[in-house]
Structure 1
Amino acid sequence: MSRLIATRYELVEVLGRGGMGAVWRARDRTLGREVAIKEVSLPQGLDDAQVERIYARTFREARSAARLDHPGIVTVYDVVEEDGRPWIVMQLVRAEGLDAVIAREGPLPPGRVAAIGLDLLDALGAAHAAGVVHRDVKPGNVLMPRGRAVLTDFGIATMAGDETLTQAGAIVGSPAYLAPEQARHQKATPASDLWSLGGTLYAAVEGRPPYRRPDVWGVMAALLSDDPDPLRLAGPLAPVLHGLLRKDPEQRMRPDEAEGMLRQIAHGAPLHTPSAAPPHNVTLQPPAVPPTVESPASPPAVPPRGRRRMPWPLLVPAGIFTAALVAAVVAVVVFANGGDNDGGKTGETGKTGVPAGYELYRGSAFEAAVPKGWKQEPSGDDVTFRDPAPGVTLGFAIQRIDSSEADPGDALASAVNGMKSDTSQYPDFKQEKFTRNISYLGGQAAEAQFTFTKDGKPGRARVRVFKFDNAMYQAILAGAQKDWDQRVPYFETFLDTFRAPS
């Protein structure tokens, strides 16, 4: 017979266990929905005063976490008492943890890790703005539903500025991802979460935590005295990791700096950041994975501290949603003759809907028919496809945008109006078409087509913005005007066959 918590929540099965208890899948009989419930269990040997303090902290911090409303944070619905203990009722997210993904796939590509970092950074920003510090950011607390990363387990989070109730002598948090100031029993701050974020991204791209030692005490000693183990696979992520993993919280990379650099990497743009050099006694190894695009002859200048700058003049301006509607990835790959990294998966299939002369591209977020032989340059779940024909300058890309709340037509109209008014950035911009309310994938999409000049080449772009899998996406066709007419059908076939992966 199943157990009932607070006369309402029916426990179904254990989803996982950790140092502070188990997480159950449960059914909310009142609302008729499935939820996740964290059962808080304490180690033996605590006196009554310690137990009371820890339970008080758990109730208080669960209430704090319940104030957070963000798509990148698992929602806390309720906190109840049963058997004298707190039980935290949360949103049930059906996805495996980042730790399981790393264990199964090994080190992840830098572009994919950068996209994960952007999602987590956005979630932490929302929590910090509400005065909540997570204090245990690690791969096991990152869930990976398709196409995004979600932060869970604010169970040991603490209100910034509030008194910390901790078990005497206990380590609150995971030692492998603990900030040095936490290891010294100093108060955790938002900067502490940034360190743990750096450790989490380090583990994702390297396949191991920043400090690999035989036991917890070796990890703690290294955390306090040594620099992180040398990077082997991080490639363009190295400056971000070194910036986030600075021991002094005051010197740690700020969120806006990290966001700008991660966005460049996630979009496959070249990154040049001499100011983000590693500590003096860390030797950077050559990246084991080649960059997805070649750097231009003159790399972009580093923006002043505190300002974000996108790596190339954009075809579509920033400022739409949390992420920008940008065609920079296409501009770089198409107009700068990007690299030939075949990172996607294509092949002949027996499925219908793949025309002759095409092959089915299968990614983690979508699949679609693409022309045979086109070069693929993936960056996480985003992918650019480039026509390899000699003398042809054309390609198209699919990109996931952070928010699905806005109307596609309004978002695209705002972008187009921005380009019209920015005569210095887009002196040759000319809108050719704008269409709202296109029926697409069971919803409404919007399209714009415009001409421009890039590096002295007359170009044309067509952008479709649409909702898919609880997110906003854009598909972009861009290229030289001379190559346009004959290759528009490639883009239309791509859109017609775009769907969730089978």
Structure 2
Amino acid sequence: MPQTIAARYELLEVLGRGGMGAVWRARDRTLDREVAVKEVLLPQGLDDAAVERLYARTFREARSAARLDHPGIVTVYDVVEEDGRPWIVMRLVRAEGLDRVIAREGPLPPARVAAIGLDLLDALGAAHAAGVVHRDVKPGNVLLPPGRAVLTDFGIATVAGDETLTQAGAIVGSPAYLAPEQARYQKATPASDLWSLGATLYAAVEARPPFGRPDVWGVMAAVLSDDPDPLRLAGPLAPVLHGLLRKDPEQRMGPEEAGRLLRRAAQAAPEPAAAPAGPPHNVTLDPRPAGPTVATPPPSPPRRVPWPLLVPAGIFAAALVVAVVAVVLFTNGDENRSGRGGPGTSSSAPSTSPSGRTSVPDGYTPYKGSAFTAAAPEGWKAEPEGDDVTFTDQTKGVVRGLAFQRLGSSFQSPGDGLASAIGQMKNDPGYPDFTQESFDRNVPSTYGPAAELQFTFTKNGTPSRARVRVFKSTGVFYQVLLVTDQAHWDESVTYYETFLRSLTMTG
């Protein structure tokens, strides 16, 4: 005999379980319709006073969530008490969670993720306008019925301005998607939801959370002190992800700018493939008017990265993450070389004239990136990804390139960051025959403190050499890296020095 709640809701089957309870498919006997019922389950070991506070918060927050009427938010119909506990009655949406879609499909195309982000941003905007902060935006709380994304589980939401009732000693929310201020037990705000939105979109496009660590304490330390793991597949989403995942809520990207960048990324999508025949995978009961369309273009082939990024593991000390500089190694040899002349050959690089710069030295071409302008060697191929750009010489028989990379703001000085990298590379098999040639912690720079490292190594049997300069500009660390085979080192240094002299930060 099925259990019945409040003499009205007949529990039929468990749809899922989480840290704060279980969700049931149920039948509303009064209105003869199917609904979802959330059974609130509390952590073990709480005293009676803590249980009473949590139940009070649940009732209050369910009532606040019931005020929200938006197609991108799962509607709360009712909150009832049974066995002394609250049960939240919601609209039943038969659709997969974003977490399951990622697990099955892997990284999702950036345009599709951007469209999902627009739906969620619109839903959060409606909630924030009503004074409701979700506090647990994550892939598992995003449902994907046909053509849109829906945000569910406002069960741990808090009403802005209300007295906070908290779990004693418990973390409310999912650590991998928790904003730094929440990890510090500070009050969650709309900006906290925007951080969690950024982490959710990061996970969708990269198929991994932004802070991949082996345990919850490592994740929490990374959320507080580290930059997100480097993006590989985000493409046009990179600027909005960087903006949403700023640790300082005062500096975090706002909803207007995020919406503008997400629309741009969504419009960059290829035409979606025709819908397959037969019924859709997801079926939504009690449908609402459709929000912005979530395009599902055919999967793109994996982006071929010409310079694999080898990132030494982070170093943890007293819950503080010491950032380690990412160093790029050149590995492709001649397989992508065009065979056309030397480095002065006319260009295949997709460059435009940087603002305010009308000329560059002979043999160079002006390049304008999202964060800088500079003179790049003419004929070298430019491959931008977010704020980062790699330039590779296309001359047959020559193995060399330049890279500009955004490192973030986790370490205290350029010298400290490079020193950490040196320690890691000495013991890293990815850098065979690593030998430090020079390390200067105090290099003159237009932008303030800078440090420079030069080292040799062997890659794919080729003796190679690298020079990297790390500097700080407007609170963010960047690096400019030269990597080349030993045979072409002397002339390559000229390219590196010209690039640095012409570098102008614009971001």
Shorter-chain TM-score range:
0.5 to 0.7
Partner of 2:59: 59
CA distance in 2, matches of 1:21, 1:219: 23
TM-score (norm 1): 0.55
Deviation at 1:43, TM superposition (A): 1.8
Mapping for residues 90-239 of structure 1, pairs under 5 Å: 90-239=90-239
Q: Runs of 4+ in structure 1 displaced over 3 angstroms?
A: 279-286, 295-301
Distance 1:120 1:161 in 2: 23
Letter in 1 for 2:253: M
SS in 2 for 1:88: strand
Aligned equivalent of 1:86:
86
Give the SS at the match of 1:16. Answer: strand
Give the counterpart letter for 1:87 in structure 2: W
Q: Which runs of 5+ in 1 are unaligned?
A: 271-278, 287-294, 302-502
User: Residue 175 of structure 1 aligns to which amino acid in structure 2?
Assistant: P
Q: Deviations over 1:201-226 (max 9, x none)?
A: 00000000010111101100111111
User: Residue type of the partner of 1:181?
Assistant: E
Structure 2 counterpart of 1:483: none
Query: In structure 2, what is the Cα distance between the partners aligned to 1:46 and 1:280?
Result: 41
**Equivalent residues in 2 for 1:213-362, closer than 5 Å:** 213-268=213-268
Deviations 1:405-453 (A, max 9, x none): xxxxxxxxxxxxxxxxxxxxxxxxxxxxxxxxxxxxxxxxxxxxxxxxx
Deviation at 1:167, TM superposition (A): 1.1
After superposition, the Cα gap between the structure-2 partners of 1:117 and 1:36, relative to the gap in structure 1 and judged at 3 Å, is same
Q: Which secondary structure state, in structure 2, belongs to the residue aligned with residue 249 of structure 1?
A: coil
Q: How does 1:414-493 map to 2 (within 5 A)?
A: none
SS in 2 for 1:118: helix
Instruction: State which drifts further: 56-65 or 219-228.
Output: 219-228
The residue aligned with 1:35 is 35
TM-score (norm 2): 0.54
Do the aligned partners of 2:25 and 2:36 also contact (CA within 8 Å) in 1? yes
SS at match of 1:251: coil
Q: Name the CA shift for 1:99/1:107 in 2 (closer, same or farther; >3 Å).
A: same
Fraction of identical pairs, as percent: 85
- Equivalent positions of 1:398-413 (< 5 A) are none
In 2, Cα distance between equivalents of 1:283 and 1:231:
14
**Residues in 1 aligned to 2:144 and 2:184: alpha-carbon distance in whole angstroms:** 31
In the alignment, residue 90 of structure 1 is paired with which amino acid?
M
RMSD between aligned residues: 2.5
Q: Provide the rounded CA distance (Å) in 2 between the counterparts of 1:144 and 1:25.
A: 18
Distance in 1 (CA, whole Å) between partners of 2:204 and 2:221 is: 23
| Partner secondary structure for residue 88 of structure 2 | strand
For residues 59 and 139 of structure 1, what CA distance do their matches in structure 2 show? 25
Q: CA deviation at 1:298?
A: 6.2
The whole-number CA distance in structure 1 between the counterparts of 2:327 and 2:164 is: 38
* Aligned mates of 1:91, 1:299 — CA distance in 2: 54
User: 2:469 matched to which residue of 1?
Assistant: none
**CA drift at 1:163:** 1.6
Shift of 1:168: 1.2
- Could you tell me whether the CA contact under 8 Å between 1:231 and 1:285 is conserved in 2? no
C-alpha deviation, 1:50, in angstroms: 0.1
Q: Kindly tell me: are residues 126 and 285 of structure 1, through their superposed partners in 2, closer, same or farther at Cα, counting changes over 3 Å? A: farther
Deviation for aligned residue 1:283 = 8.5
Is residue 37 of structure 2 the alignment partner of residue 23 of structure 1?
A: no
Q: Name the aligned partner's letter for residue 237 of structure 2.
A: L
Preserved CA contact (<8 Å) 2:231 2:238: yes
Counterpart contact for 2:16–2:23, Cα < 8 Å? yes
- How far, CA to CA, are the matches of 1:78 and 1:300 in structure 2? 58
- Following the alignment from structure 1 to structure 2, what is the Cα–Cα distance between the partners of residues 299 and 62? 55
Larger radius of gyration between Structure 1 and Structure 2: 2
Q: Distance in 1 between matches of 2:91 and 2:237?
A: 32
Distance 2:72 2:142 in 1: 10
Offset of residue 44 of structure 1:
1.6
The one-letter code of the counterpart of 1:209 is P
- In the alignment, is the contact (CA less than 8 A) between 1:195 and 1:244 conserved in 2? yes
- Mapped to 2, the partners of 1:42 and 1:137 lie a distance apart of 20
AA aligned to 1:76 is: V
Judged with a 3 Å threshold, the aligned counterparts in structure 2 of structure 1 residues 299 and 56 are, in CA distance, closer, same or farther, namely farther
Q: Does structure 2 conserve the Cα–Cα contact (< 8 Å) formed by 1:231 and 1:284? A: no
- AA paired with 1:154? F
**Aligned counterpart, 1:366:** none
Please list the CA deviations of residues 185-244 of structure 1 after superposition, one character each: whole Å capped at 9, or x if unmatched. 000000000000000000000000010111101100111111111111111111110000
Matched pairs, number: 286
2:413 corresponds in structure 1 to none
Q: Are the aligned partners of 2:111 and 2:269 in contact in 1 as well (CA < 8 Å)?
A: no
Q: Distance in 2 between matches of 1:123 and 1:299?
A: 40
The change in CA–CA distance for 1:244 and 1:8 in structure 2 (over 3 A counts) is: same
Alignment partners' CA distance in 1, 2:116 and 2:160: 25
Distance in 1, Cα, partners of 2:154 & 2:53: 17
**1:282 shift after superposition:** 7.6
Amino acid in structure 2 at the alignment position of 1:264: R
Amino acid in the other structure paired with 1:162: D
SS at match of 2:250: helix
- How much does 1:162 deviate? 1.3
Cα gap change, 1:118/1:84 in structure 2, threshold over 3 Å: closer, same or farther? same
Q: Give 2:475's aligned residue.
A: none
Amino acid of the structure 2 residue aligned with 1:259? G
- Contact 1:230 1:284 (C-alpha < 8 Å) held by counterparts: no
**Could you say what secondary structure the match of 2:241 adopts?**
helix
User: How far apart, CA to CA, are the structure 2 residues paired with 1:283 and 1:137?
Assistant: 33
Q: CA shift at 1:280, angstroms?
A: 11
Tell me if structure 2 keeps the 8 A contact 1:78–1:90: yes
Match for 1:261: what amino acid?
L
